[in-house]
Structure 1
């Protein structure tokens, strides 16, 4: 017996679906506010620490330093303030997002990116407010879904909007730098042919191995990152070059391995260091000059 759903019931179901989406959005916004409040608290504590240090330096400047000329005083004060500003800049950069006013109606937002304690390229977004908040211009890459984030969060949830932009940029830089590390590993161990190739967003990665891996023959490897906020591939495809007569049973296991973590970690197991290479490395390390020559031949060139 078929169940007949009336138009009223359809409207109720659609209303429930809309309500569920609104609840999910509000829950995400609430979590973002909590994260922002926590970061703000840490930032305020560090700023308070800097303020106390500034007061200490000013007292020390007044009580201990004796200047012979006006030029010496200016130089010392400038040095003190430069040191303080440098520390403030480092603190702001650690948050990943900082902002400065350009004039009464516009503000420049800076997104800093990093990988394992090393800062990389920043990105910028200019906001202008007349009768409403607008984005005037930005340097954010095209693969970051800025328009989708604008429609979903801007300008009502500005903090969530900026945080998600930052998360996309940081994830992009970390995927790229992790692949550089993976390429260096594969080249040093003699497994890779040429360079690892990848898309602008580093969401599709491909490379070929030259020497046999644990899976057997040389391989053609393709990694895909469907979620641009993650460092771990969403899918992995491995194909034996030359197509052996029988399918390799290990291939499925290695595909699962490559989907279990960042490439620099998983490829370490797929392409292990060979015994003869270890012996060569030990022999080479006996001489500084020979070690330098070995590294110059095997490390990755600048991308």
Structure 2
């Protein structure tokens, strides 16, 4: 059976004409280039839409954290400062000293103080005489200050830090109608995107100490992740592009754009108390097809066309898995030129 060949590609002797074959290949190549250009246009359109979404996302975040939250913060901060100023004693607790028994003592104190004030308002001198004097004690447990607030409330102030320097203060106010009833969160200044209500439901009624500690871990981890991102923007902002972070900073993506290749970094944290990512992807995308594909030494996959194939940067992923983000970024940038040279030896400078 004669071999099929498109019309016009055979000479009189029946052999393919080299010039015609070359023209046919050029036509196919141009089609692949046009396909790649169309893909680029679609990608740019998607990127522009995503940028608009991220801009609106930032505006919404700012709107949600405006005046009302600031007003609550300022009012609670004044209450905590007043409680601290009126204290008769401050006790610093370590290790086993912070336990359920101590928290029960604090609960008892706030209810007795509330009873004393109610009796004082009623003007019952006899009842006042039999009520024992209550010292105003604040407790320091790690980054937490626990104190008694007016109205049978327990106040917890969280002091977060980064690299040994103080950052933000957060507040959580607990209340119960009586010593025997479970406590609830009545007010707080914890960011709305951290799961304070879920933690309350899981721990507060059964283990209030664990609730207080876990909220502290959530806040400190959030601040730590956020400050790591802030620091790389401050130190390496000219090398970072297309930065995206979720509100709790447990998903982070950015592009390292200061090299011949486009390097994309994607980080995912296992939970909201993690400060090192658990799922990491670092990919280097060549700016042009490697020579071995361009020169036709290997056949081009018709399904891929001229789309570029990225390479994983394992060393960079290992660095991000074991070091803080600023430390890992510095290590990656330092080793990147040699790494890319090894992966893409024929990449044009």
2:96 counterpart (11, 16, 37): 37
TM-score, normalised via structure 1 length: 0.54
Q: Give the aligned partner of residue 261 of structure 1.
A: 323
Deviation for aligned residue 1:141: 1.8
Q: Deviations over 1:143-164 (max 9, x none)?
A: 3222332222213311111001
Inter-partner Cα distance in structure 1 for 2:245 and 2:94: 33
2:164 counterpart (109, 117, 125): 117
**1:272 partnered with 2:327:** no
**8 Å Cα contact 1:146/1:165 also seen in 2:** yes
How many matched pairs?
187
Inter-partner Cα distance in structure 1 for 2:310 and 2:210: 46
Q: Give the aligned partner of residue 233 of structure 2.
A: 183
Deviation for aligned residue 1:264: 1.0
Q: Deviations over 1:86-112 (max 9, x none)?
A: xx99x94x7211122222411221111
Q: Deviations over 1:247-273 (max 9, x none)?
A: 455523422332222211111111129
Instruction: Please provide the CA RMSD for this pair.
Output: 3.1
Q: Assess, with a 3 A threshold, how the Cα gap between structure 1 residues 193 and 104 changes in structure 2: closer, same or farther.
A: closer
Larger radius of gyration: 2
Inter-partner Cα distance in structure 1 for 2:262 and 2:270: 26
Q: Give the aligned partner of residue 238 of structure 1.
A: 282
SS in 1 for 2:192: coil
Q: Give the aligned partner of residue 266 of structure 2.
A: 222
1:192 counterpart (227, 230, 240): 240
**1:160 partnered with 2:210:** yes
Deviation for aligned residue 1:200: 1.0
**8 Å Cα contact 1:185/1:268 also seen in 2:** no
SS in 1 for 2:322: coil
SS in 1 for 2:275: coil
SS in 2 for 1:240: strand
Inter-partner Cα distance in structure 1 for 2:192 and 2:336: 41
Structure 2: gaps of 5 or more residues: 1-92, 100-136, 291-308, 338-349
**8 Å Cα contact 1:39/1:95 also seen in 2:** no
Greater fraction helix: 1
Q: Give the aligned partner of residue 151 of structure 1.
A: 201
**8 Å Cα contact 1:224/1:234 also seen in 2:** yes
Q: Deviations over 1:205-244 (max 9, x none)?
A: 12222211xxx61212221112211211111223334565
